[in-house]
């Protein structure tokens, strides 16, 4: 753990030793294991404040969460910490600095970056984003145009079709293995599904629209592109990811391309909890993080500020 800067000592006294170790870590890859109630939001916000105190421009800090509310709360706390460090005009300046942090969900961040840098991979910056409902309707329309499902055999409905397509994208997997594992009853339609999904991709390209899966897919492509990746890596000096256990293969691939060696990368998660399996989330991302980024520092937050000790012990016994 790096030393706590003198100007932050009073603010960091509220943190326990593990939280301080995480907040004041250097720029090497950092994995914070934190269950509910262990103060991970407090720790992350203090880490952002620490990074800024070390001279990192807030506009070069990327804070990724799974909800806009979580990102806003994190930035609000950082804002309060920075304000506490200044007086008078410095407080106003601190607020402006915290607002320049790149905070948001993976999808909202992808949209911003693709509009700014997407032309590096041939993506127009005037694309339209459609939500899941519109994606299902588009899939259904193409399904009808191709006259699929009218031959007497049970054919997937629009919601299932989009689920299959989305799982392929977010796990970076081919269609057949996905069908075998998750939708075996659809295997007899594999050829038709390939044609349908290709038509779905072609239609979106023709209409210059991106769905939520495309936002991540094209962000990944941009980050993997030599020129595009250089632009993105020059944009961010520090990347912090909340709820890392809920990321999927595609999202972890994005992070790998943004920070190949893990420099400036901090991830926080609970290795005993993952709630986004329907988004193809995999807890392997958090379990394999130290192997993916050699030299990772692991900090475990164990002091719980919500649950009583008997509850914690009972829960841990079940998990273990």
Decide: 58 and 91 in contact? Cβ < 8 Å: no
The predicted structure's pLDDT at residue 318 = 41
Q: What is the C-alpha to C-alpha distance for residues 281 and 304, in angstroms, rounded to an integer?
A: 25
Domain residue extents for the chain: 14-120+226-319, 136-207
CATH code reported for the domain at 14-120+226-319: 3.40.50.300
The predicted structure's pLDDT at residue 94 = 56
The predicted structure's pLDDT at residue 88 = 45
For the chain, counts of helices (H) and of strands (E): 16, 8
The predicted structure's pLDDT at residue 308 = 54
Q: Residues 228-284: pLDDT tens digits? A: 999 999 999 999 999 999 999 999 999 999 999 999 999 999 877 655 554 567 788
Q: Which tokens belong to 188?
A: 């007899």
Low-confidence stretches of the chain (pLDDT < 70) are 1-3, 5-7, 86-96, 151-152, 273-280, 305-320
């Amino acid at each position: 753990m790096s030393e706590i800067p003198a100007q932050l000592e009073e603010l960091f006294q509220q943190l326990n030793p593990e939280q301080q170790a995480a907040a004041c870590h250097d720029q090497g890859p950092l994995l914070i294991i934190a269950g509910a109630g262990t103060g991970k939001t407090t720790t992350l916000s203090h880490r952002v404040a620490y990074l800024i105190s070390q001279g990192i421009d807030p506009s070069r800090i990327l804070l990724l969460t799974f909800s806009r509310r979580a990102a806003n709360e994190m930035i609000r706390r950082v804002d309060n910490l920075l304000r506490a460090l200044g007086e008078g005009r410095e407080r106003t300046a601190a607020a402006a600095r915290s607002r320049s942090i790149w905070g948001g969900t993976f999808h909202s961040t992808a949209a911003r970056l693709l509009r700014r840098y997407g032309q590096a991979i041939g993506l127009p910056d005037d694309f339209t984003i459609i939500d899941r409902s519109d994606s299902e309707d588009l899939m259904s329309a193409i399904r009808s145009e191709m006259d699929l499902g009218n031959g007497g055999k049970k054919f997937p409905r629009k919601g299932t079709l989009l689920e299959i397509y989305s799982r392929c994208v977010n796990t970076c997997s081919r269609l057949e293995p996905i069908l075998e594992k998750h939708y075996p009853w659809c295997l007899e339609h594999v050829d038709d599904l390939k044609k349908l999904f290709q038509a779905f991709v072609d239609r979106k390209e023709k209409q210059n629209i991106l769905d939520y899966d495309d936002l991540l897919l094209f962000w990944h492509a941009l980050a993997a592109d030599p020129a595009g990746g250089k632009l993105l890596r020059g944009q961010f000096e520090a990347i912090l990811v909340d709820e890392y256990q809920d990321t999927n293969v595609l999202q972890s691939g994005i992070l790998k391309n943004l920070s190949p060696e893990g420099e400036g990368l901090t991830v926080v998660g609970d290795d005993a909890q993952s709630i986004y399996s329907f988004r193809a989330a995999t807890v392997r991302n958090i379990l394999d993080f130290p192997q993916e980024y050699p030299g990772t520092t692991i900090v475990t937050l164990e002091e719980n500020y919500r649950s009583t000790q008997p509850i914690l012990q009972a829960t841990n016994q079940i998990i273990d």
